[in-house]
Amino acid sequence: METTPSPAPVTPLKPLTPQEWESLIDDYQHGGSRWISLNYSGQPLFDLSLSSILRKDLALNLKLLILTFLEEHVTTILTNSSIEQNLDRLLETLRYVINSPVDAVTISYSLKEQVLISTTSIFIMFTIDNYNHSKMTKLTFVSQLEGLVEVLLTVVNRPSYGIDRQLRGVGCECLRELERECPGLLSETVGSLWELCQSEKTHVAQSYVLMLANVVHGIVVSKVNVSVLSSVVPLVPFNVPQVLVGGSLGRESSGLAVKELRRVMSFLLEWPQYLTPFGLFEFMSVVMPVAVALELQASLLKVQFSGLLFTSDMLLCHAYLGMYLQFPEAFSGHENEVIRRVSLISREAQNVLVFRLLALHWLLGFMGMVMSKREVDKEKIFATALRFYPTVFDPLALKALKLDLIVYCSVILVKSRLEDANGEGSVVKLFEDAFESVSGFKWLPSWSTETSVAFRTFHKLLIGESSHSESGSSTRDLVDSTIFHATERMLVTMTLESRGLIPVMAAFINRLLKCHKHRFLGQQLLQTFDNHLLPKVKVDYRLGSYFPLFGKIAENVTVPPGGLLDLLGKYMSILIEKHGIDTGLRSWSQGSKVLVLCRTLLMHHQSSRIFLKLSRLLAFTCLHFPDLEVRDNARIYLRMLLCVPGNKLRHLLSTEDQIPSSHSTPFFTVQSPRFSYDSKKSKDISSYIHLERVVPLLVKQSWSLSLASFNVNGEKPYHMEVITDSNTNTPSWHPETPDNDTETPSIPALEGPNQSQEPLRVTDSKVSEIVEILRKHFSLIPDFRHMPGIKIGITCTLRFESEPFNRVWGNKRSAEVDTVDLLHPALYATVLKFSSSAPFGSIQPYRIPFLLGSPTKNMTPSSQSQTDSLDIVPVNNGIVDEEKEDDESFNARVLIELQPREPTPGLVDVSIEANAENGQIISGQLQSITVGIEDMFLKVLVPDDIRDDEVPRYYVNLFNALWEACSSSSSTAREMFLLKGGKGVTAINGTRSVKFLEVSATSLIQAVEKNLSAFVVNVFGVELVNIVKDGGIISDVTWNDDDDGASGSGSGLDVVAVDPYMTEAPLYLKYDEEEDEKGSNLPINKRNMGRFHILIFLPPTSHLLFQMEVGVNSTLVRIRTDHWPCLAYIDDYLEALFLA
């Protein structure tokens, strides 16, 4: 029985509890700044850790945590002066733990394994220095290292012992790591280790085999002459080989026992079939260098490992390719098989994308290696590679690599002159078929990733074998190739068919022009566009989209400008011919762009080359163009062309680039200098410039329900369509109209829960009356698609704080200015721009000409503070009003007008642009403004033929009609209602909900009077009517004093159909499990006082209806709406309204 290590002669620390140990370890992980880590460090902490491992009152998981902690932070804990003693203590602790019996309480196999791993790791850090993995290895603390190896050899020297087989496997792994860090360390024990491998029969044999393979690899690397078969050196005691202790002397002179090592290798090569994939990969990485050094026959390895290529494990395929690189001659003739298998891996959709991409990289590297090393049957290889097309459903990254593979194959085809053997159009057809997989770049936005992939392939295809790495190749030879001509045709066709690709095309050509080696290819492409694109372009208003490409043609001297000038002349004629009242600024904009091209021609071409056609174009523009500014600019250019020599002309035109003005301004306009925009100063402007709501929201909405409508026609998806035209895919039934020839638009049904799909016909007079009321109501609602819709306004205030504003923007004035002025900086020409991802339509910006900064409360002038401190002012006698007026003088009212396409909350992002007093430009983002569901509440529109005294009754009739129409059993579910404007219709697809509120009647009435008084249309019940009338806030409504449903005799909690239009059966709510079906357990003190009927319009076409049954201590709110998504916000709104 081993004794515990003696404590070091230092002051011992107080033992830590498990919670303190966890806190200490966590503090070390984050830098060690707490008290416990500052006091527990150095040598005492190391001693405390070792003693804690041996404690019996600590849990096993905490001991494992301490060992891991020691392994990670031992370099920061120990000092160089005490390493030897600490290694001895650690070795003694290891021996104690290994020799202790397992009781599953204080000692377990997992603890023994972790002690082995941590100790080995610490010893490698302090005892082995291999000089950055070079051949020179230096050992320190040799005696301690020998003791560690003895313990490990003792652990592994029990083959086929079943109980601790996992511990023996960990011991083998530790010995393998020591041998890997110090090759040749276990060289003298190789014979004994071979015997252990032969004796081991459990699954841990893999660890023994890998350990033996690493020992053989160390012998070969260190060239140590040891005898494997006649080795009689015992495992224990262990001595480090003298060749390691004495340095590298004598290593090169000693030879290897090749025959004996080959016998060991033959034994090892019988084991791959029993190894796991990870073990086999480690085995091959060690065995391959040994096989090369011992000159083993490659055919043996080929037979042994040839099946790895056909496994589904990418690790083993990688190992096979590594073996192929080591012995290429042994695999001669198998290139097609390797290419076919690797390409199959990349085509298997069930494989992970990373593995498919890895297979393509293997294929590219393998083909390059094969082509560079030997002459092979390239025609067969490329017959497989050329069929390697990307499919439509491949991920984009996979398509990009496959296209790179095809480009690589085409380059090799051109080099090997196989193109003529396979037909002239083989490579061209290859690319035409390959680009079908990324054909979406023709209609996707120009900034899409698919477009980038396509033009990246075009670039590689064009430069071909003339890459930057090959200095001897010439780009002029590529111009006559079939690939270049095919690429020219493809680019011209795409430019004609897809105008959105023109900016990308211009950037693509610009990339070629900026490259010194491939500039000739870009010039040739521009000549191709001049010869084949300009004659085919249709001259109309859309010709302006080609101007980025025309600009590149105009800048290039090698392209004749005659074709471009003829096209511009035709375009100016079309602009003059089609100019009219409805043209607007289109003629000015397009004419200015034409003059920009003319200026580009003047700058880059000799005047004699362009004089005739350009002078005719400018003269024609001066005489006939409708816009005055364009005519003046054309006249200036014409006079310069006639009077100024070429060099001076180009100098004058180049000076305009230095003037910060647009091309549409007069030529000689010089603007005054402006301050540059400082993005650093504008970064945090939201901290001192505030845009706040005047009326805060009841519900701070932090989420929004957005339902996208997916369109199969490729159109842009929208949030939720509530209005559509007759030309959309809508139900075939339409309402009758006075004119039978007029087509009435319809909408797709926006179904609520459990909505019936069968259309019901109007049959009785009551439903006909309801439909007539609703038709009259909806005819007042404008169709926002064809005319201005209903808007909502959110009133806010804009203010900014003076002190931080002056600190950031440096608003310094002279000393002559009054001190009060320093407290009030100003913003000039402030523009607030709004944007939102919510369906609020386009939001107009708001402009504020002048705004003063609000002064800081503790920064009033000293003279003023002294005089004010002596004033005697009565309490609440003008102070509040005066402060309010002062605050309003530093605030600017801002009205944000929204035109909702759907009644849903959202955020409005706000950006500000303003000028400071010293001319600095202030720009940045402010805090977003929250739009709540209560912002959508509007009163319904009233027809013009309704008198003022008839408005309350109209509201009641409309409420009853909408209440009936929003029921799930309504007969108007398929009725279409024509909107104002006569181009769109909408339908009512209602749903309902119930909300129970435990709130007193007094609180509820006060909340209704404060927030919903404008929307109350009817009040029922004698008691409720008297209370509301006495309040005097709610007026111009219909009062019903004789409501039967509001009598006190009825049960206030029974959810019954009190509405005369309600057709469903009574619905009872149970509030506990013991209540019977009739609700006999309901409390009788909650009697019903009456009802509120509330009608709210939700733009653009929806409604929200409340029927509040008011009780003494509770209220039941029945909700109906024809826009069911808004119910997601009503619950929070009612709770905030009544229960706050």
CB of 777 closer than 8 Å to CB of 877: no
pLDDT score of 877 more than 90: no
Closest CA to 92 of 131, 138, 47: 47
- Residue matched to tokens 């401190």: 869
The 10s digit of each residue's pLDDT in 918-959 is 778 888 899 999 999 899 999 999 998 888 889 999 999 999
Fill in the amino acid letter for 529. Answer: F
Predicted pLDDT at 300: 77
Chain centre distance of CA 488: 37
pLDDT score of 105 more than 90: no
Please tell me which residue, 133 or 795, carries the higher pLDDT value: 795
Question: Among 446-460, 468-482, 597-611, which range has the highest average pLDDT?
Answer: 597-611
Closest CA to 759 of 731, 724, 730: 731
Predicted pLDDT at 27: 82
Please tell me which residue, 675 or 735, carries the higher pLDDT value: 675
CA–CA dist 1044, 1088 (Å, integer): 11
Q: Find the range with the poorest average confidence among 209-213, 310-314, 365-369, 900-904.
A: 365-369
Q: Find the range with the poorest average confidence among 317-326, 734-743, 958-967, 985-994.
A: 734-743
Spell out the residues 6+ positions from residue 818 whose beta carbon is closer than 8 angstroms to its own: none
Predicted pLDDT at 406: 77
Cα dihedral sign, 334-338-339-340: positive
Residue 974 pLDDT level (bands cut at 50, 70, 90): low
| Phi and psi torsions of 815, nearest 5° | -75, -15
Residue 988 pLDDT level (bands cut at 50, 70, 90): confident
Token representation of residue 462: 């064009």
pLDDT score of 979 more than 50: yes
Chain centre distance of CA 630: 45
Question: Among 372-381, 449-458, 1003-1012, which range has the highest average pLDDT?
Answer: 1003-1012
pLDDT score of 661 more than 60: no
Q: What is the pTM of this model?
A: 0.51
Segment 404-408 shows an average pLDDT of 79
Segment 606-624 shows an average pLDDT of 89
Residue 265 is classified by DSSP as H
Average pLDDT, the chain: 77
Q: Find the range with the poorest average confidence among 292-301, 487-496, 671-680, 713-722.
A: 713-722
Specify the DSSP element, H or E, that contains 887.
helix 879-889
Token representation of residue 1016: 């109350």
CA–CA dist 1040, 1025 (Å, integer): 8
Closest CA to 707 of 716, 719, 717: 719
Predicted pLDDT at 722: 54
The 10s digit of each residue's pLDDT in 1048-1061 is 333 332 333 444 44
CA–CA dist 40, 10 (Å, integer): 13
- Residue matched to tokens 């005319």: 787
The angle, 0 to 180 degrees and rounded to 10, between the axes of the packed helices 335-347 and 353-373 is 160
pLDDT score of 137 more than 80: no
Predicted pLDDT at 643: 86
Q: Find the range with the poorest average confidence among 106-115, 243-252, 640-649, 717-726.
A: 717-726
Predicted pLDDT at 447: 80
Fill in the amino acid letter for 661. Answer: S
Predicted pLDDT at 26: 84
For residues 643-677, one letter each, b for 16 or more C-beta atoms within 10 angstroms of the residue's C-beta and e for the rest, the string is ebeeeebbeebeebeeeeeeebeebeeeeeeeeee
Segment 811-826 shows an average pLDDT of 54
pLDDT score of 672 more than 60: no
- Residue matched to tokens 């107009």: 844
- Collapsing DSSP states into helix, strand and coil, what is residue 925? strand
Q: Find the range with the poorest average confidence among 144-153, 868-877, 908-917.
A: 868-877
Residue 65 pLDDT level (bands cut at 50, 70, 90): very high
Predicted pLDDT at 1052: 33
Predicted pLDDT at 744: 37
Predicted pLDDT at 1072: 47
Token representation of residue 268: 């090892």
Please tell me which residue, 423 or 30, carries the higher pLDDT value: 30
Segment 26-38 shows an average pLDDT of 70
Half-sphere exposure of 448 (CA within 13 A, CB side): 15
The 10s digit of each residue's pLDDT in 295-346 is 888 777 877 888 888 888 888 888 888 888 888 777 777 777 888 888 888 8
For residues 365-387, one letter each, b for 16 or more C-beta atoms within 10 angstroms of the residue's C-beta and e for the rest, the string is ebbeebbeeeeeebeebbeebbe
Q: Find the range with the poorest average confidence among 35-44, 570-579, 958-967.
A: 35-44
Q: Where are the beta strands (DSSP E) in 49-159?
A: 128-129, 138-139
Predicted pLDDT at 401: 85
CA–CA dist 1011, 934 (Å, integer): 9
Closest CA to 572 of 606, 614, 608, 529: 614
Fill in the amino acid letter for 23. Answer: S
Predicted pLDDT at 762: 45
The DSSP annotation for 312-361 comes to S-HHHHHHHHHHHHH-TGGGTT-HHHHHHHHHHHHH-TTS-HHHHHHHHH
Segment 671-677 shows an average pLDDT of 47
Predicted pLDDT at 819: 46
Closest CA to 47 of 98, 82, 95: 82
Closest CA to 387 of 344, 350, 351, 423: 344
CB of 243 closer than 8 Å to CB of 186: no
- Collapsing DSSP states into helix, strand and coil, what is residue 179? helix
Fill in the amino acid letter for 1130. Answer: I
Residue 743 is classified by DSSP as P
CB of 797 closer than 8 Å to CB of 891: yes
Predicted pLDDT at 592: 92
Give me the percent of the chain exceeding a pLDDT of 70: 74
The DSSP annotation for 793-849 comes to EEEEEEEEBHHHHHHHHT----TTS-HHHHT--EEEEEEEEEE-SSS------EEEE
The DSSP annotation for 100-118 comes to SPP-SSS--HHHHHHHHHH
Token representation of residue 934: 């209560």
Residue 1035 is classified by DSSP as -
Predicted pLDDT at 67: 92
- Collapsing DSSP states into helix, strand and coil, what is residue 677? coil
Burial class (CB in 10 A: 0-12, 13-18, 19+), 935: buried
pLDDT score of 730 more than 70: no
Please tell me which residue, 252 or 780, carries the higher pLDDT value: 780
CA–CA dist 93, 1098 (Å, integer): 77
Segment 35-42 shows an average pLDDT of 68
Closest CA to 851 of 688, 1050, 697: 688
Predicted pLDDT at 176: 93
- Compute the 3-state secondary structure of the chain and give helix, strand, coil in percent, each to the nearest 5: 50, 10, 40
Fill in the amino acid letter for 256. Answer: L
Please tell me which residue, 386 or 533, carries the higher pLDDT value: 533
CA–CA dist 1096, 955 (Å, integer): 10
